[in-house]
């Protein structure tokens, strides 16, 4: 900004011209410069002009003082107005196009794992620390691996097509061992694993299983994880201890258990486990027992030398207890209001 040169004794018209310049200021810096020229304590034009009043006669002094006060007031008002305008220009610019690296960016939304795979990862971690290997079986099994080799009698009601998703039409009365089906439990993985590994062994296998069932607590597709431990000196006490240790880690230390005798063709003896947590009711959550000698034999493992336990948990059931989820269908409906909570 350029300035007009003033005589040593400031004249009102010069001061007035300078005040007019205020409205063409481009920045707060320009405004500050003009205000300094007008008001500075030693050399400000208005300061000097006021000092000059003492050299005048009382009559002239009165007229001149009135004039200077009017100028001073105009200078201050124009300066303040301009300052506000310039500040606003700066904020507007910041709002519209100027990058402000001090501002926090709006939070970006990131996706995350669905609570079932997230829980499976946790299960794998807990059992991994207990020395268990992880195996993933096939979701398509056969009559042989889903039932026969697991010691199911030929006429066992679980083989009924009303409960099983057979992948080819099952002809009445024919019992083809190779009949493909969607596995109804993770137990066939026991067979595959024992046929490809030599004991001692510890394995868990999480995954999807399929049954023709659908209501608030049953879904045609749900998740289980199975555990298998085979060694020379294993008893139900080991099984109970492993199950309770894992459950306490996965659910909370205050989880309560109820052990009942149960029947599964592939274990002997067999048990069913109910769990209660923080005042909720008992919920059946797992089946378990000592691996049946016939099953070991089907996998070329000598039952006189080796023994062990197996158990299978329903994953949705565990999560329903843990998070008080009232309906199993919520897991697969894809409602973000539900999914974002976990
Ligand atoms: N497979 C059984 C079920 O789905 C659970 C189970 C697993 C029971 C292992 C005993 C041993 O109900």
Q: Which of the listed residues 141, 157, 185, 186 should we mutate to test ligand 1's pocket, taking the one with most ligand atoms within 8 A of CB?
A: 185
Evaluate if pTM is beyond 0.75. Answer: no
- The preferred substitution site among 187, 228, 260, 271 for testing ligand 1, maximizing ligand atoms within 8 Å of CB, is 187
Ligand 1: distance of its center to the CA of 265 in Å? 9
Q: Which of 264, 266, 313 to mutate to test the pocket of ligand 1 (most atoms within 8 A of CB)?
A: 264
CA 318 – CA 84 distance, rounded (Å): 64
Query: Closest Cα partner for 223 from 285, 273, 267?
Result: 285
pLDDT at 175: 61
Closest ligand 1 atom number to CA of residue 227: 9
Mean pLDDT of 263-271: 97
pLDDT over 60 at 204, yes or no: yes
pLDDT at 277: 85
What is the pLDDT, as a whole number, of residue 202? Answer: 98
Query: In angstroms, what is the span from residue 208 Cα to ligand 1's centroid?
Result: 14
Burial (CB < 10 A; 0-12, 13-18, 19+), residue 96, is exposed
pLDDT at residue 4, as a whole number: 46
Tokens representing 177? 């061992």
What is the CA(171)–ligand 1 centre distance, in A?
27
Least confident of 136-150, 163-177, 261-275: 163-177
Residue-wise pLDDT for 311-332, tens only, equals 999 999 999 988 989 999 999 9
- Summarize pLDDT for 68-81 with one digit per residue, the tens: 999 999 999 999 99
Q: What is the pLDDT of residues 87-115, one digit of tens each?
A: 887 777 767 776 767 766 777 888 899 99
- Asked if pLDDT for residue 212 goes beyond 90, the answer is yes
Span 177-191, mean pLDDT? 96
Which residues contact ligand 1 via a Cβ below 6 A? 185, 187, 226, 264, 267, 287-289, 310-312
| pLDDT above 70 coverage of the chain, percent | 94
pLDDT value, residue 237: 97
Percent of the chain at pLDDT > 90 equals: 70
Which residues, including other chains, have CB under 8 Å from residue 259's CB and lie 6 or more apart?
240, 271, 272, 273
DSSP labels, 84-102: HHHHHHHHHHHHHT---TT
């Amino acid at each position: 900004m350029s300035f007009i040169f003033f005589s040593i004794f400031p004249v009102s018209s010069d001061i007035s011209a300078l005040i007019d310049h205020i409205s063409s200021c481009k920045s707060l810096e320009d405004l500050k410069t003009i205000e300094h020229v007008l008001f500075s304590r030693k050399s400000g034009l208005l300061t000097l002009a006021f000092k000059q009043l003492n050299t005048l006669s009382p009559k002239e002094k009165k007229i001149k003082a009135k004039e200077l006060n009017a100028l001073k007031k105009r200078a201050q008002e124009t300066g303040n107005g301009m300052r506000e305008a310039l500040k606003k220009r700066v904020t507007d610019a910041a709002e519209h196009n100027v990058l402000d690296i001090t501002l926090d960016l709006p939070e970006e939304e990131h996706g995350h794992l669905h609570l079932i795979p997230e829980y499976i990862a946790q299960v794998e971690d807990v059992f991994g620390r207990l020395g268990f290997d992880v195996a993933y079986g096939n979701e398509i099994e056969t009559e042989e691996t889903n039932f026969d080799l697991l010691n199911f009698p030929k006429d066992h009601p679980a083989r009924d097509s009303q409960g099983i998703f057979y992948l080819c039409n099952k002809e009445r009365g024919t019992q083809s061992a190779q009949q493909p089906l969607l596995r109804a439990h993770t137990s066939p993985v026991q067979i595959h694993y024992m046929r490809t590994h030599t004991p001692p062994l510890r394995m868990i296998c999480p995954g999807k299983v399929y049954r023709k069932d659908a209501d608030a607590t049953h879904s045609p597709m749900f998740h289980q994880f199975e555990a298998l431990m085979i060694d020379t000196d294993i008893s139900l006490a080991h099984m109970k201890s492993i199950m309770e240790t894992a459950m306490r880690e996965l659910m909370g230390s205050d989880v309560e258990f109820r052990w009942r005798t149960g029947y599964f063709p592939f274990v002997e003896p067999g048990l069913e486990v109910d769990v209660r947590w923080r005042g909720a009711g008992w919920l059946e959550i797992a089946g378990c027992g000592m691996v049946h000698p016939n099953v070991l034999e089907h996998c070329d493992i000598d039952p006189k030398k080796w023994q062990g336990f197996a158990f299978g948990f329903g994953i949705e059931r565990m999560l329903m207890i843990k998070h008080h989820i009232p309906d199993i269908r919520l897991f697969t409906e894809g409602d973000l209001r539900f999914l974002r909570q976990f």
